[in-house]
Amino acid sequence: MSDEIRAGGCLCGAVRYQVRGEPFKSGLCHCADCRKLTGTSFLAYADWRSDQFSYEGEISTYEGRSFCPTCGSRLFSLEDRKVEVFLGSLDDAPNGIKPQVEGWCKRREPWLPVLPGMPMMPADP
């Protein structure tokens, strides 16, 4: 496993997090929930095991998705064994994390360019 540490956080700086190593999954999701969550056409995400993740600061959670209660930045989804990080909340851009799959492509905007070689699932991958 890589020793790389990536850091991220909210817009106001009240919540900070770190992920260690490489994600085991990454992708783009075009489902209705992710579109509403991001306020745009898709969510770019990556999943790490829970033991690769830590955070500081107060978070609020709605339907499993955590955000900063001060500035409203959407950050991650904490689950029992994994954390799904919303890649736009990482400090570094570009962050070098390439999507491995696109989900919910039946909701994908037709003006988005196709990523060569990317598996495209009509619904959940």
**Domains held by the chain: number:** 1
* Percent over 90 (pLDDT), the chain: 95
Residue 98 lies in a domain: yes
What token pair was written down for 116? 């060569």
The answer on pLDDT for 125 being more than 80 is no
pLDDT digits (tens, 9 = 90+) for 45-78: 999 999 999 999 999 999 999 999 999 999 999 9
Residue 115 lies in a domain: no
pLDDT digits (tens, 9 = 90+) for 11-51: 999 999 999 999 999 999 999 999 999 999 999 999 999 99
pTM of this structure: 0.92
Structural domain including 70 reads 5-105
Mean pLDDT of the chain: 95
CA distances from 109 to 27, 41, 106, 112 (A): 16, 7, 9, 6
